[in-house]
Amino acid sequence: MTDVARLAGVSHQTVSRVLNGHPNVREQTRLRVQAAIVELDYRPNGAARALVTGRSKVIGVVAQNTTLYGPASLLAALEQTAAEQGFAVSVGSVRNLDHRSISVAVERHLAHRVAGIVVIAPVESAGEALERLPKGVPLVTVDGDPRRPVPLVTVDQVAGAREATRHLLDAGHRTVWHVSGPSDWFDSAGRIDGWRDALSAAGAEEPPLMSADWSAASGYRCGQMLARMPEVTAIFTANDHLALGVLRALHEAGKRVPDDLSVVGFDDVPEAAYFIPPLTTVRPDFDAVARASLNMLLTQIETGGGGALRQTIAPTLVARDSVAAPRHIRGIG
């Protein structure tokens, strides 16, 4: 930076102001400094800047080491959004989202002077750990526990599930069966609540809950049971992989979708449009979640204080070919 200042004929402080986009620099001076930067092929020293300012242009992210579509998509969206804001992302992958694992990952990030921390915390075991993190650290959780006083950005799981269930009821089905995700996931709990809300609002009977995990294999096992129950005409699954397993089981049982049964998923995985039939599903806006998370975190970094504690992002129903009116409405059977 000293070499740039000497070549441009300005002070070290002026070079710093130009690098940081400060408005109180004359345009002619700015152009002279930028020309010197190009000529000298100068690159700002991020490590030195972190030592001076106490923070870097790096966001620390704590996430479970998983290939599940939702968390993986959120992580990719966070990295892209951070890059657009001039930040890099350092990911601390943990095997389990428990107190010890999260604490170790956060301490590692703080040792590298990250500007702030985002924790993707969709399971109950992460809740206590987040409340016990060091005070004063800019922190945002994604898909975390809505009952805890920690800044949170999340997909509106309840609204998405409510819309999925209502879509099936509006097609004429008397009720909707639900294949849920794991009981310790907030996503799963929210989708159960939305399903129940829609049934209650419509005055529809609530069938027994079919508990599963997030896998196609688990959906397949639930689908085998549902295929043997003639009263089942509509199924809402907590994610698209569960729906894939259900579709396979129904096909093997000689059931046609949507002629015999209708199915709706959640997540809109890239393959959903290529299922047989193409799957009606709920699409979370992961990019919007990432933008809101980063904006909330940057507000904390810049102000040194709080800001918004909650922000929910509405998902969108994507209607495809896996839903139709039940047979009794179509005059069949």
> Looking at residue 51, what is its pLDDT?
37
Per-residue pLDDT at 22 exceeds 80: no
In angstroms, rounded to a whole number, what is the distance separating the alpha carbons of residues 135 and 158? 31
Asked whether the beta carbons of 140 and 287 are under 8 A apart, the reply is no
> Does residue 276 or residue 330 have the better pLDDT?
276
Q: Give, in order, the Cα–Cα distances in Å from 331 to each of 228, 259, 326.
A: 22, 12, 9
Q: For tokens 């526990």, name the residue.
A: 145
Window from 127-136, 158-167, 317-326 with minimum mean pLDDT: 127-136
As a whole-number percent, the residues of the chain with pLDDT over 90 amount to 53
Window from 53-62, 217-226, 251-260, 292-301 with minimum mean pLDDT: 53-62
Q: Provide the whole-model pTM.
A: 0.80
**Residue among 301, 283, 314 at smallest CA distance from 151:** 301
> Looking at residue 38, what is its pLDDT?
84
Beta-bridge partner residues of 118: 61, 140
Asked whether the beta carbons of 206 and 176 are under 8 A apart, the reply is no
Q: At 44, is the pLDDT very low, low, confident or very high (cuts 50, 70, 90)?
A: low
Per-residue pLDDT at 47 exceeds 60: no
Helices (H) and strands (E) in the chain, counts: 12, 12
Q: At 288, is the pLDDT very low, low, confident or very high (cuts 50, 70, 90)?
A: very high
User: pLDDT digit string (tens) for 173-198?
Assistant: 999 999 999 999 999 999 999 999 99
**Residue among 193, 208, 185, 194 at smallest CA distance from 165:** 194
Size (the chain), residues: 333
> Looking at residue 150, what is its pLDDT?
83
> Looking at residue 160, what is its pLDDT?
98
Sign of CA dihedral 132, 135, 137, 138: positive
Per-residue pLDDT at 306 exceeds 70: no
In angstroms, rounded to a whole number, what is the distance separating the alpha carbons of residues 282 and 161? 8
In angstroms, rounded to a whole number, what is the distance separating the alpha carbons of residues 46 and 6? 21
Sign of CA dihedral 253, 259, 263, 268: positive
**Mean pLDDT over residues 19-29, rounded?**
79
Q: Cβ-count burial of 239 within 10 angstroms (0-12 exposed, 13-18 middle, 19+ buried)? A: buried
**Mean pLDDT over residues 102-122, rounded?**
87
Sheet of strand 262-264: strand arrangement: 210-211, 177-180, 234-237, 262-264
In angstroms, rounded to a whole number, what is the distance separating the alpha carbons of residues 223 and 261? 11
In angstroms, rounded to a whole number, what is the distance separating the alpha carbons of residues 179 and 238? 6
Show Cβ contacts of residue 222 under 8 Å, excluding neighbours closer than 6 positions. Answer: 179, 210, 212, 242, 245, 246, 249
Window from 105-109, 272-276, 281-285, 328-332 with minimum mean pLDDT: 328-332
Per-residue pLDDT at 53 exceeds 50: no
**Residue among 23, 57, 56, 16 at smallest CA distance from 37:** 16
**Mean pLDDT over residues 3-21, rounded?**
83
What DSSP letter does each residue of 219-278 carry, written as one string?
Answer: HHHHHHHHHT-TT--EEEESSHHHHHHHHHHHHHTT--TTTT-EEE-SS--TTGGGSSSP
Cis peptide before 258 (omega within 30 of 0): yes
In angstroms, rounded to a whole number, what is the distance separating the alpha carbons of residues 76 and 120? 12
What DSSP letter does each residue of 184-195 carry, written as one string?
Answer: TBHHHHHHHHHH
